[in-house]
Structure 1
Amino acid sequence: MGADREGGARRRPMRAVACAAWGILLLAGCASMPDSGDLRDVESTPRQDTEVRVFAMPPRENAPPAEIVQGFLEALTSDDPQYATARQYLTPTASRRWRPESSTTVLADGWDIEVDRATAHEDSGDYAFTLTGSKVARVDEQQSYTPLDGRYSQSVHLARDKSGQWRIDTPPQGVLMGRSDFQRNYMPVNKYYFASDTAGGTGRPATAVADPVYVRQRVDAMTRVVRSVISGPTRWLDRVVRSSFPTGTALRRDVTALAPDDQNRLTVPLNEKASRVGSERCWEMAAQVLFTVQNLTPTVETVALQRADGSTLCTLGADRARTVATRGPVKRPEYLYFLDDKRRLVRILGGTAGTSVEPVPGGLGEGLQRLSSAAVAWDERTAAGVSNDRKDLYVGSLVQGGTLGNAVLRSDGKTEDDRLTAPSWDARGDLWVADRDPARPRLVVLEQGKGRPVEVTVPGLDGRVDAVRVAADGVRVALLVQHKDGTESLLVGRIERDGRSGERTAVSVLGLRPAAPDMEDVTAMSWAGDSRLVVAGREQGGVQTMRYVQVDGSTPDVPAPAALTGVKSIAASDDERLPLVAYSEADGLVRMSSVAQWQKVVKEGAAPVYPG
């Protein structure tokens, strides 16, 4: 027999809500299940203020099976740290086996409950339901977010316990909740590790790499995120980063909660595994914690790591942390660059409201070679430009009198749209570009912007790369891909280098994952933070829009830029003090002012870029 839906229903709220105001705990919204009546559709819980605490209600005496299932599901969305109330809905054996930390599955509009008529017999002490819904995402045991789609279906079985009460003996795997409950319960946080090729002890700052995770925001988020950064990077990032914490390092056993003191200092007691590290390694460990907790609580200024005996291992302040590791660009971009009406590379001072335009020094600013796009190296001493017909890639120094020389790469594509993309520089000083020639589509990198191009291996790439942007950390790359079926998607991959294959380093982009699964026809994108991109495109079934996306495919809770028509290119910086700049066919070159409105920069201008 098939499963029949009981009452067409989703869950009914069964929660107590506590609000803190003026130091008084107020209780509101306490609810219990009705004794009778059909289950009815109820929307997922609306998003609430961060000060609102939601607590689950325990099972009612002699509650029927449907109420037990809904009560359990409601308890999963509460702020109960160890899900103690949710466990009251389970049999003792099921409670011991259930691992809520193993995963969190997010459904678009919450769940539907369908009665399994084949086993639904209250008189026999046996009852089952099927939970269904539309999958949105999954957060795994490492707290890493992965977008999902398709239907969710999971069986839940109940039996009577020794006292005759209905309890769940086969619960769903992990935690299950609707999208709005997920947004209320969880928050994105960047953990920080170091790029593998920036080893400690070299006298140069290591390069910090963001590893985004999701933590429960009102369940001691500080302690949980510190435990997470100590435990190591997520599997997706692990191959290209390192952690300075020795294997086996953890918080000291007696640590139950971490919080900064009134001097904005966070003390982190560690176990014996970390007791003998040297000062430089300890500073890197402290930098990892400091960058991570500042992403959660920006007011933290100092991190002190303690040995297991309570003595101080090392202390690191925000000023000193900058000499230990860099986060984002090594220096603040000095200029904003773009192409003028003569297709020359020009620049204006960044971070100002000025519009005084000057050609860049050297061959790219002379106008002898008209350009379609350009990129400026992070040190702003070298730039690359693609010719106006997109056939040739040139590299030149940004010094007065510098010559352009011959093209370093040529495409044989028959049309402009089948030739070279805009280039992008990584933090190592290597230059990336994609050739869209249908006869030989490829992604290439030129070491230090010169020499023979190295073709980048991209396993699993279904189509050609239409745009490439390398992150400031040099470890991750965003690719706009046109698939063979004609669709487009924005993907993020990790950059892996292998120098053992001979004289030249082999370069690969692995682990491709969608960064904007809800968008199609993406027309422009740019990195806009440690783990964030700004994209312009059309949402599925919608109109053109511009918004921010996380590299893990989630959507950050930040306001989207104001609407702009016909966006062809975007320039954003990891430095939040610099304005967002865009080129649109309707408005020309514009930038986002401090009042969140687009303002025209110059009458004629296109292809804006910050260094990178």
Structure 2
Amino acid sequence: MGADREGGARRRPVRAVAYAACGVVLLAGCASMPDSGDLRDVESTPRQDTQVRVFAMPPQQDASSTEIVQGFLEALTSDDPHYDTARKYLTTAAAKTWRPESQATVLANGPSIQATGRPADQDDADSVTYLLQGSRVATVDAAQAYAPSDGAYRKTVHLTKDAKSGQWRIDALPQGVVLGKSDFQRNYTSVDKYYFASDTSAGETGQPVAVADPVFVRSTVDPTTQVVRSLLSGPTTWLGPVVRSSFPTGTALKKGVSGLAPDDQNRVTVPLNVRASRIGAAKCTEMATQLLFTLRNLTPTVDSVALQSVTGAHMCDVDEDQAEATAWRASTKRPEYLYFLDSKHRLVRMPTAGTGTGAVAVPGPFGAGTRPLRSVAVARDERTAAGVTGDGRDLYVTSLASDGSLGGAVLTSHGATADDRLTAPSWDARGDLWVADRDPGKPRLYVLAKGVGQPLTVQVPELNGRIKDVRVAADGARIALVVEKDGEQSLYVGRIERTKSGDQQEVSVLELRSATPGSEEVTAMSWAGDSRLVVVGREQGGVQQTRYVQVDGSTPDGPAPAALTGVRAIAASEDDRVPLVADSQDDGIVRLPTGDQWQKVIKDGSAPVYPG
């Protein structure tokens, strides 16, 4: 148990434990708790090595009502696939109606327990109610989508004593499961499942663009089968309006299939039901591609996926090369160059495949310094660039070719100061250019088709504040916005929806959700994966730090980047093989190779970017 509240004696649950040799931890449901009044925390099981599995103990004979509640809550944190042990703490009727998969509520610590009403376990007592309390951190819904949450958690469980057996059991309880943050981190893992953007194809290739849809699955309960079922059931509610699946409606695993795993050739064979029996070769390849992208995110050693019909016949298969030829995915597209501005505010570049520190001017007007620049963005194909002038007023788009010409500004801001004018621009995979005007008198988010179209005002109906920074996801289905309000700068991720009204296209950013709950100031950010961003900022009362966040607001596994002070800008590629790069007030342009420390590149430089 966690630390007791003031005025209570500390009492710990009895646990039966089997270590190392068998790799199993048993949780005993026999914790002794005070019968009334005092609040007690349910101890979160310390995070175990991934090879250690945790199983719950069933209720003991003549266990007290408090021991039953404690045992049930501990059973929720075990690796029991169907929560069968947890159901043993319930009455027969409650066990039939309880749906643990409907929602998981994550608390900062395990829930505190308090008996309400008359004291429990008195000789004449035959029922008792317990109040479960805690501070919410997040929820995971029935579709396995994570959402940050806050505020108090207060739910009750009711117990009755069986007249014949004399045993306490829970007969009324909230749906879903509740557990502490450390147990959640041990029991669940985040996995990106992949769909295709509804309204986006990649540049000149016309390939469908893969979009990552992160979900949380129980990490030791047949995770491969879980994530395949999740993929087949469709995208999460938030992402659903802007993506499509190549699987026909109603497609599911063949009845009775479980235990999906790679064979000795690192191939996963997925048997499907009859709904997938009448598809063409191209559609089958897209389906297998969705599966391969998803399963490689869970298990990187998977080399190929094969689809099998309900009769056991081979349908199609894809390996990594075939999948990448079928769909465009940002995290597999290694950029050729890193770009930044030199001391003369010209655009320069250096190869990503190397450790050198020499940079050369790009071909064309931006490299020649025709217009001193403040910020830049390079298109995904690295043939075109957009730049905002030093005063923040004008946006230019030009070719990165020696014969390129500058032409006129494609957008002009009328803000009073440079900080009230244009943000750094950003490109998506379809070749559209995004930028915000910070003019307080006329704040706008714009998109320019192919970078040269008429600036189209993007509707952001839920925006509460002023956009300070913009980074569109490569897939063109999501966008990250730093929004300032009342002196605080927060990071939000929104869904990009495109509709047509007559001959006019309308673009909106909808359902903004916080990617950095608790942050007071976000200084810089960049996409750093298909569903991950790198963020520089600080929490209230804290110091500046650099960390990774998921688009759903969760924190990904793995270490944060090495500490760096005075970061003004940061650049990352969706391809994590490419070093993180930052503009440090003290050291200029620096980079962070994987597993290393920050290295100086050039002292007099600014505004580093990778394509995007």
**TM-score higher than 0.5:** yes
Question: How far, CA to CA, are the matches of 1:568 and 1:599 in structure 2?
Answer: 16
Match in the other structure for 2:437:
435
Structure 1 runs (4+) greater than 3 angstroms displaced: 5-21, 26-32, 34-43, 118-122
CA shift in 2, pair 1:416/1:17, >3 Å? farther
Name the amino acid aligned to 1:33.
Answer: C
Residues 30 and 430 of structure 1: CA distance in aligned 2, closer, same or farther (over 3 Å)? closer
- With over 3 angstroms needed to count, the CA separation of the structure-2 counterparts of 1:307 and 1:278, relative to structure 1, is same
Superposition deviation, residue 521 in structure 1:
0.7
The residue that corresponds to 2:136 in the other structure is 135
Following the alignment from structure 1 to structure 2, what is the Cα–Cα distance between the partners of residues 16 and 229? 37
Provide the C-alpha distance between the structure 2 equivalents of 1:322 and 1:310, rounded to a whole number of angstroms.
27
Q: In structure 2, what residue type is equivalent to 1:135?
A: R
Give the TM-score normalised by structure 1: 0.94
CA 1:551–1:203 in structure 2 vs 1: closer, same or farther (change >3 Å)? closer
Separation in 1, partners of 2:219, 2:333: 32
Q: Give the structure 1 partner of residue 376 of structure 2.
A: 374
Q: Following the alignment from structure 1 to structure 2, what is the Cα–Cα distance between the partners of residues 529 and 374? A: 20
Tell me how far 1:42 sits from its aligned partner: 6.1
**Range with greater deviation from structure 2 (445-454 or 374-383):** 445-454
SS of residue matched to 1:479:
strand
Aligned pairs, number:
603
Output the CA distance in 1 between the equivalents of 2:487 and 2:193: 36
How far apart are the structure 2 equivalents of 1:440 and 1:328? 33
- Relative to the length of structure 2, the TM-score reads 0.94
Please state how far the C-alpha of 1:254 moved relative to its aligned partner.
2.2
Paired amino acid for 2:134: G
Alignment partners' CA distance in 2, 1:182 and 1:550? 16
**1:316-342 Cα shifts (integer Å, max 9, x gaps):** 111211111121167421111000000
Give, in whole Å, the separation in 2 of the partners of 1:110 and 1:396.
Answer: 56
Cα distance in structure 2, aligned partners of 1:209 and 1:482: 28
CA distance in 2, matches of 1:448, 1:99: 49
- Corresponding residue to 1:359 among 342, 361, 366: 361
Identity %: 63
Matched, 1:542 2:539: no
* Offset of residue 37 of structure 1: 6.7
- 1:53-452 superposed matches below 5 A: 53-117=53-117, 122=122, 123-162=124-163, 163-198=165-200, 204-328=206-330, 331-452=333-454
Between 118-127 and 488-497, report the one with greater CA deviation. 118-127
Unaligned runs of 5+ in 2: none
Compared with structure 1, are the counterparts of its residues 331 and 184 closer, same or farther at alpha carbon in structure 2 (3 Å cutoff)?
closer
| Displacement of 1:161 | 2.3
Are 1:15 and 1:56, in contact at CA under 8 Å, matched by a contact in 2? no
Distance 1:329 1:295 in 2: 11
Q: 1:12-43 CA deviation, whole Å, 9 max, x = no partner? A: 5565555565xxx2556664636787786564
Q: Distance in 2 between matches of 1:348 and 1:479?
A: 28
Secondary structure at the residue paired with 2:321?
helix
Partners of 1:15 and 1:312 in 2: CA distance: 49
Supply the distance in 2 between the matched residues of 1:199 and 1:436 (Cα, whole angstroms).
30
**Which whole-Å CA distance do the structure 2 matches of 1:211 and 1:309 have between them?**
30
Verify the 8 A CA contact 1:18 1:28 in the aligned structure 2. Answer: yes
1:114-143 Cα offsets, whole Å, 9 max, x none, are 121268574241200110000000000000
| Partner deviation per Cα, 1:564-607 (whole Å, 9 max, x = no partner) | 11111111001122110000111111000244211111121000
Per the TM alignment, residue 444 of structure 1 is displaced from its structure 2 partner at its CA by: 0.6
**CA offset digits 1:521-549 (Å, max 9, x no partner):** 11000000010000001123311100000
What is aligned with 1:472?
Answer: 474
SS in structure 1 at match of 2:338: strand
Q: 1:106 to 1:27 in 2, by over 3 A?
A: closer
Deviation at 1:346, TM superposition (A): 0.9
Gaps of 5+ in 1: none
Superposed, which structure 2 residues align to 1:572-611 within 5 Å? 572-611=572-611
Amino acid across the alignment from 2:140 = V
Report which stretch shifted further, 322-331 or 356-365.
322-331
**What CA distance in whole angstroms lies between the structure 1 residues aligned with 2:316 and 2:108?**
46
Distance in 2, matches of 1:164 and 1:354, equals 76
Residues 254 and 121 (structure 1 numbering): CA distance in 2 closer, same or farther, change over 3 Å? closer
Provide closer, same or farther for how the CA distance between residues 76 and 364 of structure 1 changes in structure 2, counting only shifts above 3 A: same
Paired letter, 1:497: R
Q: Distance in 1 between matches of 2:72 and 2:301?
A: 37
- The equivalent residue for 2:456 is 454
The alpha-carbon distance between structure 1 residues 11 and 71, as it changes in their structure 2 partners (threshold 3 A), is farther
Query: Is residue 510 of structure 1 aligned with residue 510 of structure 2?
Result: yes
Change beyond 3 A, Cα 1:316–1:489: same
1:493 corresponds in structure 2 to 494
The alpha carbon displacement at 1:108 in A equals: 0.3
After alignment, is 12-21 or 304-313 more displaced?
Answer: 12-21
1:10–1:41 Cα contact (<8 Å) kept: no
In structure 2, the CA distance between the partners of 1:237 and 1:373, relative to structure 1 (3 Å rule), is same
SS of match in other structure, 1:400: coil
Deviation at residue 235 of structure 1 after TM alignment: 0.6
Shift in alpha-carbon separation, 1:329–1:89, aligned structure 2, 3 A:
closer
147-156 vs 588-597, greater mean Cα deviation: 588-597
**Offset at 1:6?**
11
Which position in structure 1 is the counterpart of 2:532? Answer: 532
TM-superposed CA distance for 1:110, in Å, is 1.4
| Cα distance change, pair 97–579 in 1 and its aligned pair in 2 (3 A) | same
Per-residue CA shift, 1:86-134, capped at 9, x if unaligned? 0001111111110000000000011111121268574241200110000
Q: Deviations over 1:459-479 (max 9, x none)?
A: 211011100001111111100
| CA deviation string 1:414-463 (max 9, x = no partner) | 11111111000111111110111111111111111123210000121101
Distance 2:519 2:185 in 1: 20
Amino acid of the residue matched to residue 154 of structure 2?
A: S
Q: Distance in 1 between matches of 2:456 and 2:313?
A: 51
Letter of the aligned partner of 2:196 in structure 1? F
Q: 1:357 to 1:256 in 2, by over 3 A?
A: closer
